[in-house]
Amino acid sequence: MRNLSLATLFSAAAGFILIWVASWALDVETEFRYFTAFWGVFFASTGLIDGITHETTRAVASARDTGVKGSANPWRFASMVAAFVVIAVIAAGFWVMRTLVPMSPGLATSLFVFGLVSYIFQAVLSGILSGANLWDQYAGLVALDSGIRLVLALAAWGLGWGLPAFLMITVAGAVSWLVILGASHSARLNIRVALDVDRPAFLTRVLTAMVASGASAALITGFPTAVSAAFPDNDTAVSIMVGAINNAVMLTRAPVLVPLQRFQSALVVRFVEKRKHVYQALLAPVAAVLGLGAVGFIAAWIVGPWILRAAYKPELFVGGLTLGLLTFASAFMGTLMITGVAVLALERHGWYLAGWVTASVAAFAVLFLAPWGVVQSVVAALFIGPLAGALVHVAGLSRARAVAPASAPGSAP
């Protein structure tokens, strides 16, 4: 677990540095805005795919914990999803990318297909490694995924490459699973590890988890894309403000959400093992993330403006109070992630889905419908959405505890 902690810290730092590099390497008004839009939609899509990781982790961990072995095969399911992704993205991707990345829609679509297909299989391996407690191998996967992007971004900046290179860099880390399989004998031995459910149950549960994780990814990594859509670039000042606020959102999220995203599989295992005392198991990680958010609020308010002035282009400046609020909002998002993982671990997939959908709908309703400017709408959306979703998850936990005596591990939700 120590290696996983180090890997998540490296992943957070790498993401932070990469965005900083892109802000200098790309033009703010056009290329940087298109890069953040592509980055957001790609990682929102990988967030949808992360549902495979979450349910595979739960199923592997539960099979180890209970001895129940089903017939589900996550690799076969991944192949089906990959085929669907190829068809769907080719059919609609070019039209979407003409809006998001008008400078290179064909390249963006091709890279999008490649990255998502590779990430689908990476998600399966991540779930197996986590559920089987192969934390060193999982840590290697996390570090390699981020490290590949960081090295390529630094090279692209040094060589003066533009937007096409950064589009490629966005998807490059998705090949990490092949490296881990090739390098780790333990990983290869466990690729056919048992799950605790049969194929129909796994299909139902993983699709539910994917919809829910997709809603979460839309709210987390896809949020910059939504901001771009909510405030079109027909005004130069608004376009620059969108680039600045998107940069601020990504920077203030990185210290809290990037490590937490990588620790979700470990939290699934924690809540599966402590399902009878889920509130006690929930208390420590929630308190930790809110405490980190409170410290981050003060630090971002005081130090944030100085960092932006010293390290970024003047167009990307955002005030200290806004930076502090965005940092604390990331802790609310982290709380939502933790409550969601707890509900999922207790096999209440419907409540897991309901919480994330509620959070996304509430946040995007504020973003698109509130009669405020860019900054006010973004800040309000990032507080209101996660709070609404976390309350739904807490209700689901209460319901799960109420019916627990009648449910057995591995039973249908």
User: What integer best gives the mean pLDDT of the chain?
Assistant: 86
Q: For residue 402, what pLDDT band results from cuts at 50, 70 and 90?
A: low
Residue 139 lies in a domain: yes
Instruction: Please write the tens of the pLDDT for every residue from 257-285.
Output: 767 766 777 787 778 777 777 777 888 88
Examine the pLDDT at 407 and tell me if it is beyond 80. Answer: no
pLDDT at 409 exceeding the cut of 60? no
Q: Are the beta carbons of 324 and 332 closer than 8 angstroms?
A: no
161 found inside a domain: yes
Quote the radius of gyration of the chain (alpha carbons, Å).
Answer: 20
Query: Given a cut of 90, is residue 180 above it in pLDDT?
Result: yes
Structural domain count of the chain: 1
Asked if residue 116 belongs to a domain, the reply is yes
**258 inside domain:** yes
Examine residue 211 and state whether it is found in any structural domain, yes or no: yes
Per-residue model confidence (pLDDT) at position 364: 93
The pLDDT of residue 380 is 95
- Least confident range of 29-38, 124-133, 283-292, 327-336: 29-38
State CA 57 to chain mean position distance: 16
* Burial class (CB within 10 angstroms; exposed 0-12, middle 13-18, buried 19+) of 321: middle
Domain membership of residue 218 as a residue range: 2-406
- 98 token code pair: 């003409």
User: How far apart, in whole angstroms, are the C-alpha atoms of residue 320 and residue 185?
Assistant: 49
How does residue 403 score in pLDDT terms, banded at 50, 70 and 90?
low
Tell me what pLDDT residue 169 has. 96
Question: Can you point out the beta strands (E) in 40-149?
Answer: none
Asked if 218 contacts 360 with a C-beta cutoff of 8 angstroms, the reply is yes
403 vs 333 pLDDT, higher one? 333
The whole-angstrom separation of Cα 185 and Cα 170 is: 28
Residue type at 272 in one-letter notation: V
31-71 per-position pLDDT tens digit: 888 898 898 889 888 888 988 998 898 889 888 878 788 88
Cβ 146 vs Cβ 19: under 8 Å: no
- Percent of the chain whose pLDDT exceeds 90: 37
* pLDDT tens-digit readout, 80-128: 999 999 998 888 877 888 888 888 889 999 999 999 999 999 999 999 9
Instruction: Give the pLDDT mean for 164-171.
Output: 95
Of 404, 406, 282, 265, whose CA–CA distance to 346 is shortest?
404
Three-state DSSP state, 192: coil
Residue 405 pLDDT > 60: no
pLDDT for the residue numbered 366 = 94
Does the pLDDT at position 250 exceed 90? no
Instruction: Name the residue among 28, 72, 50 with its Cα closest to residue 337.
Output: 50
Please state, in angstroms and rounded to a whole number, the distance separating the CA atoms of residues 403 and 384.
Answer: 30
Give 8's pLDDT tier (boundaries 50, 70, 90): confident
User: According to the model, what pLDDT value does residue 103 have?
Assistant: 85
406 or 266, which is more confident? 266
CB-based burial, 64-97: b 16+ in 10 Å, e otherwise:
bbeebebebebeebbeebbeebeeebeeebeeeb
Q: Is residue 411 part of a domain?
A: no
> Is 204 among the domain residues?
yes
Question: What pLDDT is attached to residue 233?
Answer: 65
Tell whether 300 is covered by a domain. Answer: yes
What pLDDT was estimated at residue 102? 84
Main-chain phi, psi angles of 118, to 5 degrees: -65, -40
In 146-274, at which residue ranges do the beta strands (DSSP E only) sit? none
pLDDT (average), residues 328-338? 91
* pLDDT tens column, 342-360: 887 777 878 888 998 899 9
